[in-house]
Amino acid sequence: MAKNGTKIKINGDKTKRTLYEKFFKRFFDVVLSFLALLILSPLFLILFICSKIFIHGKVIFSQYRPGKNGKVFKLYKFRSMTNKTDKDGNLLPDKDRITKYGKFLRKLSLDELPQLWNILKGDMSIIGPRPRLVKDMIFYDKQFLKAYEIRPGLTGLSQISGGRSEASWQSIFEKDLEYRNKITFWGDVKILFGTVKALFKSDSASGGAGEGNREYYYADELVKTNKISPEQYDLGLKMAEEIINNNGSVIYFKELHNKIEGE
């Protein structure tokens, strides 16, 4: 692991935490996720069977994502893509592996339902910044890394503000930081209802990975716009893999940035 990583002190500029954030948010997460798992158990069974029919293989997809304070955890989803490979045995691009059934799951966010288990375990919250990829978050600026000190969410402010496919990466970071700085009960209720409303918009989800108004992977956007060099890109991917293998945490690495913020 590179030695220039910097732990981010994130509480100094944060507004005072509310009683809801300190004591009640986690309580509601546990109660509501437990009830949802019970109530939705028939739907889980239906989706399990459908996934076996239309996608084959393993039904649940798992992937390491950065959680609270960047600590990685294993996130669960219903699989929406096949494991089709090319003649050399390499996986085909995401857009060639997603199925019509997978697009249906994504459109209604049904693929996200297994994350109720992540919420019950304490990896996630119902409301919060969406858990991103390690290989993307490792390139986040100091300012925006601060937004991810809290538990990631099943849905969040950036999600109902065009964050699924329409918004730019910059606007997603700004919305996530806005949420992190003001967590209230009524704010979470509004986001929850806003999520339900967004699910039924025809343009609320991209049909497949990589479709939308921004690069699907933040690291790809940085290298394509010359904000990082190909060497930094490759180094970041190696560091991300090391963090995952060591069950580590995403922190700020100055060698992955051309400009060192605040220094």
Q: What is the mean pLDDT of residues 189-217?
A: 70
Q: What share of the chain is helix, strand, coil (3-state, %, to 5)?
A: 50, 10, 40
pLDDT in tens, 166-175: 678 999 999 9
Share of the chain above pLDDT 90, in %: 60
Q: What is the mean pLDDT of residues 38-67?
A: 93
AA identity, residue 173: F
Q: What is the mean pLDDT of residues 86-113?
A: 83
Share of the chain above pLDDT 70, in %: 85
Residue from 148, 159, 108 nearest 124 by CA: 148
Task: Please determine, for residue 10, whether its predicted confidence score (pLDDT) is greater than 90.
Answer: no
More confident residue, 102 or 119: 119
Reduce the DSSP state of residue 206 to 3 states and report it. coil
User: What pLDDT was estimated at residue 163?
Assistant: 55
CB 183 within 8 A of CB 25: yes
Tokens, residue 66: 């950065």
d(CA 150, CA 159): 16
Residue 143: phi and psi, rounded to 5, are -55, -45
The residues with which 63 forms a beta bridge, in sequence order, are 75
Per-domain boundaries in the chain: 5-256
User: What pLDDT was estimated at residue 18?
Assistant: 87
Task: Please determine, for residue 213, whether its predicted confidence score (pLDDT) is greater than 90.
Answer: no
- Kindly indicate the confidence band of residue 93, based on its pLDDT and cuts at 50, 70 and 90: confident
Please state at what angle helix 41-54 crosses helix 25-39, rounded to 10 degrees. 60
pTM: 0.85
User: What pLDDT was estimated at residue 16?
Assistant: 75
Tokens, residue 237: 């991917």
What is the average pLDDT value for the chain, to the nearest integer?
85
Q: What is the DSSP code string of 81-93? A: B---B-TTSPBPP
User: What pLDDT was estimated at residue 206?
Assistant: 45
Task: Please determine, for residue 251, whether its predicted confidence score (pLDDT) is greater than 80.
Answer: yes
